[in-house]
Every structure is written in structure tokens, then in C-alpha cells.
């Protein structure tokens, strides 16, 4: 894992003092709320429905146990005993006092964490593959490249007042587990025929009110030019992205309006110019970072089997664990989606327990996934049963990864001031209704957003749900056929919306229809793609 040096530490320490000063100036009336708002947002502090909300960055979703424990302690000390893991691999707290916020940042800085640029019109936390460093299908561990981007994007002097927020993701395998093509910039680290590393740039993807899949604008930027190329992409956007309408200000609109070819031409011209400016960190810096992501000291020659005699445990293993590149190990996902629970929420005690389990069973490492779960990436198979028993006892043993109960949901109108409808109650009702059938249904990614901003990724759900405000009451639109990953597709709206109970019924009908139509080995998405919207529509509305 990346370890701060004195430079990194000084940076976050200075940020704490800067924010302390900004809060003081706001509380003393030297700056207005309009002037303070962008400052607090760049420290991840929102004013939400019930209080201030603080979003803490978890760079590329990776945490050590001391960091995770601090997240639990913050939940107790400054919030109301819980936190919410988000679709951008971060964590947010819902009940923060403005006057406490600088102290929270100071506590975070003690464990090499921060809330820098977790909101605002700047480059946000860079996300990555939650199984990085653990799976066999990656070209390299993508996280050192994400860390390089983290440092480059932190307090970037030119790109702190962009037309709109800017989200990047970095992966390094063909199996895209980070929804890379649905980001402002998605980077896939690849190897060319000569074995050289490079970065494929996908620019202009995103969800929100105008969902778009990012086109590849350059399939191979040499790795020692990746930062310069990113700078060129951002400069073209900063100069020419629309600022007249916030709903058209994301880079996807610029790429769409200019056309991929013209945008690429401008980027390449800017890139050629920037190469003369020597802004690229040297490869020695990449090597320095890479050394900190060295493999943990795996044991070799250990048992590569799991005792499956406990059927509940076997079910959890089958659902929640992924093969590891190292014989004798496995990557285990802790579901934060208990039946009837709040997707992504974890209590302070649960957070601290997960920290302890990472220390005891996973070389001190955890990952936050964009599906709002937690991964212990390197668990010895021989330890798996003991691990599961502790998870089970703490309400963290739900066996439903990628099943219909593993719902992504934004906080919705229960917490969020932008929301039009509540997301969580819908997730709870669907989870309860389909709990007994989810194993039979198999992989089904269901995603719920409480407004068109799409924090709940509804466009990318095999089943997506979008909450809207219909004359003052909550209404829910149903989408089918969305998918993230290598074969990214955007969901299509089925037809008229539903009330809260109606949307639960509609989802159940869609799953029943799928079960009646599926052919051998087909997932819900496969069946939908084969037979199409009209048949599903008939089943749902007919």
C-alpha cells in the first residue's frame, strides 16, 4: 500500500490548517456562503437535508486497517455511529457539524487520509478495480498509476475551477470492474506487442442526465507520457467545456458536440505542446510508488482447498469469493447489503471489526467497491471459515454478491438535498421481496438513483430504477438492459413510472418473466438482450 512520505504528509497537514482558517472566516462572517460553498465542497463538505455531510476520500478504494479503524472512530466521535460507503469508493458521514469538520480532517491526516477534492468542480478521487493486486487477469496492479494521478490532480493549479466535476478511473484488465467507460476519463493500462506498458484513454463517458459511453481517443499513450496526456485532455476541456449551462458542462457534452475526432485532434495538439514543457513525473517516481504496492508475503505450498461442510458457509464462498492469483488464497467480499438493510451503510462497530479482520486475515488491507461493499483481498483459504463466522456474527455475512439483493442505491431523499425520491426504502422492499429467490435468479445487478444525477448508477443496472418527482409525490421509472464493464450498455426506460409498491411489483414481474424465458446459462441481462424490451414490457405492463 502507498505510504505517505514527509511531502505527502505536509500537504494534508497544510490542508487541515487551510480549511480550519476557511471555516473560521465563514463563522466570523468574513466570507459569504456563496464564497464558502466551493471551498467546503473541495473538502468534501456538503450541506444536506439534515446536517452537513462529509465525504472522505478513499483513493482507488484501498485502505489499511488503521485507516478503516479511524473511519469507525470518526463515526462514533463526530457522527451518529455509522458511515455510508459510496459508489465512488469513498465513505460519507451524514451528521457532521461545521465546527467539527477541521478536527475530523486532522484525525484523518493522522492516518494519511483526507477529504481533498471529494466534491467541487475539480478532479475527484480516482477509482480503480477493487481486486487490484489480487486477481490473475490484470496486466499490472493499476493502483500505482492511480496514485500517480492522485498526486498530479491534488491542488492542480489550472484545474481546480473546471466547468464541472471530473471523475477518473484506472483499470488494468479487460474485465472492467470499475465501470471505467462511464467516467470523464477512463484509463486502461495495457501492454503492446513489444511488451511496453501504455495507457488507453477513454474520454467523455458518464451517467447523469445525459448518459454516454466514453469513446477510446487513444489506444496507447506510452506510460511515461500518461500524465502529460491527461493534462492535455483536461486543458482542452477547461478551455472549451460549456459553462453556460451546468447540465451541459461535463466533458461528455464537449466530446459529443465537437465529435470524438475533433476533440482528439485538439488533445493531440495540446499534448504535442505540453511535451515541450516537461511536466511528466520521471519513471523513477512510478517505480518508487510501485515498490509500495509490492505483493504481500504470501505463503507458498499451503492448502488450496476450502472445507465446505457448513452449507451456509459454502453458499457464501460461492457467492462472495473470487479466485486469487496466489494458490491458497482467495479474495472475499463483505456484503454491506443485508436483507432489508441500507445499502452501503456500516456501523462504527462493524467498520472497526472489518479493520480487525483485515489485520488478522488480509495482510492489513481492505478495499471499498463501487458497488458499496468491502473486499478483503488476500485471505488464506485455511482462514476463510473463521473469518466468515466472525462476519456472520456481526451481520456482515450476507451471501449475495452481484445478486438482486446486492443493490446499489444512492442515499436518496432520506438524506440528499438533490434527490427527488427516496431510494433506500425501494431497495429494502425489493431486497425483502426477492430474498428467497435471489439464488435461483442468479447474477442481476439492480441500481437505484433518487434523481437524475445518477449517483446510484441506474443507467448501468441490468435493472435500473430512477426516482422522480411527479407533482409532489415520489414516482419511479424502470430501466432494463444497462451494464458496466467491457460490454457497457445503457438501460432503456420501460414505460410509465410506478409508485413505491408498484416498482417493487414491476421488478418482481421482470424477474419472473426472465425465469420463464431464460435458456441454459443465461443471466438476466443475456435473456433481456436476446428477447428485447417489447417482451419484457408486455410482461411488466400487460
Partner 1 sequence: MKILTGNDLKSGAVTWWDGVQWSLHVEDAVDVGDHADTILAREQAARRVNAAYAIEAVKDADGVRPAHIKDRIRALGPTVRPDLTLKPADPGAGDWVI
Partner 2 sequence: MAEVQFRFRDDEPVADPGVTVDAFGEQTNALAVRLEPGDEPRDLLPHLDRLRLVEVNFPSFGDGRGYSAARVLREAGYIGELRAAGEVLVDQIAFMRRCGFDAFAPEVPLDPADAEAAWSRYGEVYQPTTDGRTPIWGLRHGIGRRG
For partner 1, the binding residues (CB under 8 A) are 26-27, 29, 33, 47, 49-52, 80, 94-99, 342, 413-415, 417, 419, 422, 424-425, 428, 472-474
Mention every residue, 6+ apart, whose C-beta is less than 8 A from residue 273: 232
C-alpha cell at 192: 503492446
What number of other Cβ atoms are within 10 A of residue 260's Cβ? 15
List, edge to edge, every strand of the sheet that includes 329-334: 62-64, 365-368, 374-380, 329-334, 321-323
Q: Residues 276 to 295: which contact partner 2 by CB under 8 A? A: 276-279, 281-282, 284-285, 288
Q: Is 377 helix (H, G, I), strand (E, B) or coil?
A: strand
Give the binding range for partner 2 (CB under 8 A) out of 32-40, 93-101, 322-330, 503-511. 32-40
SS3 state at 292: helix
Q: What is the DSSP letter of 180?
A: G
Q: How far apart are CA 410 and CA 254, in angstroms?
A: 27
Q: Give how many residues touch partner 2 by CB under 8 A.
A: 42
Name which of partner 2, partner 1, none residue 161 binds, using a CB cut-off of 5 to 8 Å depending on partner kind: partner 2
Q: Which of residues 146-185 bind partner 2 (CB under 8 A)?
A: 151-152, 154-163
Interaction between residue 442 and partner 2 (CB under 8 A): no
Partner touching 422 among partner 1, partner 2, none, CB below 5 to 8 Å by kind: partner 1
156 binds, among partner 1, partner 2, none (CB under 5 to 8 A by kind): partner 2
Dihedral Cα 200, 201, 202, 206, nearest 10 deg: 130
Sorted by sequence, the CB contacts under 8 Å of residue 14 that are 6+ apart come out as: none
Segment near partner 2 (CB under 8 A), from 100-108, 271-279, 426-434, 515-523?
A: 271-279
61 or 405, CB closer to partner 1?
405
When CB distances are held under 5 to 8 angstroms depending on the partner's kind, the choice from partner 2, partner 1, none that residue 415 binds is partner 1
Among 11, 66, 275, 533, binds partner 2 (CB under 8 A): 11
Contacts of 318 (CB under 8 A, 6+ apart): 399
H/E stretch holding 36 reads: helix 33-41
Tell me whether residue 160 or residue 492 sits nearer to partner 2 (CB atom).
Answer: 160
Task: Map the footprint of partner 2 across residues 217-236, applying CB under 8 A.
Answer: 235
Q: What DSSP string describes 203-255?
A: ES-B-TTS-BPPPEEEEEEEGGGHHHHHHHHHHHHHHHS--S-GGG-SHHHHH
Is 305 a residue that touches partner 2 (CB under 8 A)? no
Q: Which residues bind partner 2 (CB under 8 A)?
A: 5, 7-8, 10-11, 14, 17-18, 21-22, 25, 30, 35, 38-39, 121, 151-152, 154-163, 235, 238-239, 243, 273, 276-279, 281-282, 284-285, 288
Amino acid at each position: 500500500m502507498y505510504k505517505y512520505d514527509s511531502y505527502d504528509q505536509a500537504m494534508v497537514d497544510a490542508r487541515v490548517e487551510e480549511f480550519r482558517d476557511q471555516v473560521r472566516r465563514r463563522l466570523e462572517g468574513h466570507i459569504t456562503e456563496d464564497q464558502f460553498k466551493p471551498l467546503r465542497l473541495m473538502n468534501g463538505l456538503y450541506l444536506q437535508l439534515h446536517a452537513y455531510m462529509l465525504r472522505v476520500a478513499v483513493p482507488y478504494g484501498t485502505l489499511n486497517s488503521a485507516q478503516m479503524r479511524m473511519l469507525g472512530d470518526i463515526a462514533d466521535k463526530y457522527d451518529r455511529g455509522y458511515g455510508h460507503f459510496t459508489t465512488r469508493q469513498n465513505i460519507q458521514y451524514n451528521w457532521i457539524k461545521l465546527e467539527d469538520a477541521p478536527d475530523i480532517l486532522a484525525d484523518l491526516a493522522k492516518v494519511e487520509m483526507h477529504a481533498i477534492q471529494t466534491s467541487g468542480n475539480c478532479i475527484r478521487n480516482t477509482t480503480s478495480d477493487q481486486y487490484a493486486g489480487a486477481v490473475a487477469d490484470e496486466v499490472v496492479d493499476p493502483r500505482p498509476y492511480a496514485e500517480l494521478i492522485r498526486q498530479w490532480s491534488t491542488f492542480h493549479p489550472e484545474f481546480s475551477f473546471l466547468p464541472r466535476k471530473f471523475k477518473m478511473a484506472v483499470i488494468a484488465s479487460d474485465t472492467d470492474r470499475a465501470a471505467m467507460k462511464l467516467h470523464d476519463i477512463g484509463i486502461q493500462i495495457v501492454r503492446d506487442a513489444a511488451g511496453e506498458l501504455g495507457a488507453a484513454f477513454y474520454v467523455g463517458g458518464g451517467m447523469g442526465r445525459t448518459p454516454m459511453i466514453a469513446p477510446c481517443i487513444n489506444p496507447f499513450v506510452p506510460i511515461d507520457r500518461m500524465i502529460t496526456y491527461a493534462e492535455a485532455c483536461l486543458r482542452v476541456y477547461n478551455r472549451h467545456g460549456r459553462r453556460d449551462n451546468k447540465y451541459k458542462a461535463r466533458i461528455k457534452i464537449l466530446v459529443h458536440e465537437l465529435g470524438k475526432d475533433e476533440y482528439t485532434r485538439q488533445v493531440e495538439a495540446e499534448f504535442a505542446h505540453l511535451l515541450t514543457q516537461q511536466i511528466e513525473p520521471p519513471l523513477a517516481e512510478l517505480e518508487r510508488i510501485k515498490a509500495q504496492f509490492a505483493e504481500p508475503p504470501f505463503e507458498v505450498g499451503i492448502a488450496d482447498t476450502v472445507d465446505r461442510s457448513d452449507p451456509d458457509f459454502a453458499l457464501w464462498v460461492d457467492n462472495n469469493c473470487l479466485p486469487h492469483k496466489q494458490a491458497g488464497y482467495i479474495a472475499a467480499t463483505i456484503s454491506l447489503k443485508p436483507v432489508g438493510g441500507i445499502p452501503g451503510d456500516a456501523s462504527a462497530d462493524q467498520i472497526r471489526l472489518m479493520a480487525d479482520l483485515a489485520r488478522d486475515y488480509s495482510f492489513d488491507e481492505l478495499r471499498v467497491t463501487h458497488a458499496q461493499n468491502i473486499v478483503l483481498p488476500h485471505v488464506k483459504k485455511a482462514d476463510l471459515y473463521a473469518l466468515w463466522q466472525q462476519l456472520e456474527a456481526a451481520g456482515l455475512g450476507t451471501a449475495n454478491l452481484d445478486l438482486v439483493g446486492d443493490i446499489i442505491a444512492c442515499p436518496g431523499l432520506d438524506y440528499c438535498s438533490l434527490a427527488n425520491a427516496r431510494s433506500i426504502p425501494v431497495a429494502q422492499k425489493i431486497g425483502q421481496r426477492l430474498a428467497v429467490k435471489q439464488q435461483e435468479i442468479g447474477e442481476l445487478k439492480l441500481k437505484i438513483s433518487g434523481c437524475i444525477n445518477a449517483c446510484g448508477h441506474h443507467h448501468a443496472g441490468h435493472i435500473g430504477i430512477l426516482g422522480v418527482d411527479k407533482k409532489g409525490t415520489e414516482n419511479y421509472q424502470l430501466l432494463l438492459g444497462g451494464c458496466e464493464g467491457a460490454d457497457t450498455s445503457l438501460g432503456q426506460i420501460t414505460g410509465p413510472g410506478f409508485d413505491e409498491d408498484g416498482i417493487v411489483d414491476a421488478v418482481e414481474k421482470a424477474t419472473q418473466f426472465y425465469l420463464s424465458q431464460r435458456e441454459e446459462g443465461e443471466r438476466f441481462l443475456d435473456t433481456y438482450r436476446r428477447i428485447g424490451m417489447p417482451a419484457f414490457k408486455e410482461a411488466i405492463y400487460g
